Homo-oligomer: A and B are copies of this chain.
């Protein structure tokens, strides 16, 4: 057996939504990445397809939001049907599929294969990232003596080529790839290995991570078809509650509807493999009766029994090995959370690896990497708790339905996620916990910055903040400077500008290039300063603001895209940022937004020490060299 060795920074096992999202973090960097997948090529047809607003924000930050939005199907109304007195079914209510605080589309549909397509295309021009299909891991060793202070390659993974026939026909990785291979093994030396290899994860088993939880007691069928029916709400999301169970009906593109149909429940369940399409459709017809339902073209169907399980660990071996997505959590597909949570896991991990690999975290990088598990494992646990209760909501008519359903919509949108205090989430001094998580879209450390629309000061073009904060690996200090037509507030923003630009006593080493001032030098800066003011645009000249808000590069002149105004756009209305984030127009506030769009800290606009201590906490600034530094 001939053996060759390849050296990469990050080895990603699995090129599904999680693996591709992770790889997207390493665009425009020198970090070398290898993705391997047992499948012979990109997934031709995926099961998942619900995209929540937070996931669409992630695509926007990768620069592929418009393309994905253009192909996606919208969901606007949800109808709830129950049993009628005469034994039929009756429409009980119709609610809008909308969460007011979002100010954006709550959910869209696009099949997984197209989502993967766009993420994959987005990698192709980046020579530091490569992908190999028909490739399977056979061994993994992590050198436990390698600390994070040493620039070594402690991970060694053996890879082998998969013969076409060894892949299962549906492209699912097989459970065990450690024996039966007669091909040459290639050894990969890596700094980190990440398992994005799905529910039957190979890496999970190698790392002795166990899934905690159970299988549920229902077998479901799922069918994508063009329906021939006189059911009047066939083009709405419908929950149909009948004597035999609750159907979920989700309209999609190409005239199709997806049906989730409970076929059997109880203790003596059939193996899902034994279910037939006819059996599933018969169960659907029974529930939808007296309306007729005939199947036009059926493009895909399947049957499954859901497991509700969470991995015991999300990272192992001194944060050299990570597990992401389905590899560490499984749950019902009905709330459309699977692909979303996998992509969001990857989005949480990617920037941390990037920052550490680029040397921006000289002080205790392992602490930052540890927050991947401490932030994402509770999310998976909450999701499964939610999953257990979700369908009960539809099991009987309830006076609290509206409130509860809105709560559920907010939850699945991701609005309730709030990461706990850590080196990457700084709470106000003396505060350990902000209390129960709120579903409000407010400006709170640990929560995702609410996506909002503002207009660029220079040209009045409407922009959404998450699209603006593209996934470059940079933190953003977003200065909500208030009404800077008021001299006092303008002066405050200028003082803050001095602090942000000062390389000695301020944060200039993070916000400005260390060498040169051309456009390329500016791209490597780990903290980008943005301003969102609420003054009348006519009363403020951009070039009158501190240079940190409109920096100069020697080859491209001023940067006109760092200052936004909370003002009416020409066509897209008014973003009402200050109102929605509950900001005082006559006070400055400052938010540190992490590279993944979560708020790291919120401080007053003149709390320079608060800003500095945040970056000391992350490990990007050492306490010593600064005159006013605290020992953190």
Contact = CB atoms under 8 A, between A and B. Distances in A.
A460 B77 contact: yes
Interface string A201-242: 000000000000000000000000011111010111000000
A560 B459 contact: no
Interface stretch (A66-74, A188-196, A417-425, A495-503): A66-74
A262 interface: no
Interface in A84-133: 94, 96-98, 104-105
From A555, A570, A573, name the one whose CB has the most chain B CB atoms within 10 angstroms: A570
B571 A98 contact: yes
Interface in A231-262: 232, 234-236, 251, 255
Interface in A498-550: 538, 541-543
A353 B235 CA distance: 37
A385 to B, nearest CB: 29
A560 B233 CA distance: 11
A588 to B, nearest CB: 24
A79 to B, nearest CB: 10
B297 A555 contact: yes
A141 interface: no
B228 A557 contact: yes
Given A67-B67, A226-B557, A570-B98, A76 B543 contact: no
Contacts of A70: 66-67, 70
A235 B543 contact: no
Contacts of A456: 235
A96 B570 contact: yes
Contacts of A228: 556-558
Contacts of A229: 557
A478 interface: no
Contacts of A569: 76
A232 B541 contact: yes
Given A104-B571, A556-B255, A459 B235 contact: yes
A461 interface: yes
A275 interface: no
A306 interface: no
Contact of A296 (B76, B555, B560): B555
B67 A461 contact: no
Interface residues of A, number: 47
Contacts of A294: 557
Contacts of A296: 555-557
A377 B67 CA distance: 38
Given A226-B556, A459-B77, A555-B297, A105 B571 contact: yes
Copies of this chain, tallied across the complex: 2
A542 B234 CA distance: 11
Given A66-B70, A98-B570, A104-B571, A76 B555 contact: no
Contacts of A97: 570
A542 B232 contact: yes
A458 interface: yes
Nearest to A231: B543
Contacts of A69: 66
Contacts of A105: 571
A263 to B, nearest CB: 23
Interface in A276-301: 294, 296-297
A473 to B, nearest CB: 21
A123 to B, nearest CB: 19
A504 B307 CA distance: 61
A93 B554 CA distance: 31
Interface string A564-578: 000001110100000
A461 B542 CA distance: 40
Given A104-B571, A296-B555, A297-B555, A560 B76 contact: no
Contact of A76 (B77, B236, B459): B459
A316 B322 CA distance: 71
Contact of A232 (B98, B462, B543): B543
Nearest to A542: B232
Contacts of A459: 76-77, 235-236, 251
Nearest to A97: B570
A556 B254 CA distance: 10
A101 to B, nearest CB: 13
A204 to B, nearest CB: 38
Contacts of A255: 556, 560
27 contacts: A67-B70, A70-B70, A74-B461, A74-B462, A76-B459, A76-B460, A76-B461, A76-B570, A77-B460, A77-B570, A97-B570, A98-B570, A226-B555, A226-B556, A226-B557, A227-B557, A228-B558, A229-B557, A230-B543, A232-B541, A234-B458, A235-B456, A235-B560, A255-B556, A294-B557, A297-B555, A573-B573
4 closest Cβ pairs, A-B complex: A66-B70, A228-B557, A235-B459, A235-B458
Given A77-B459, A228-B558, A297-B556, 4 more contacts: A66-B66, A226-B555, A232-B541, A255-B560
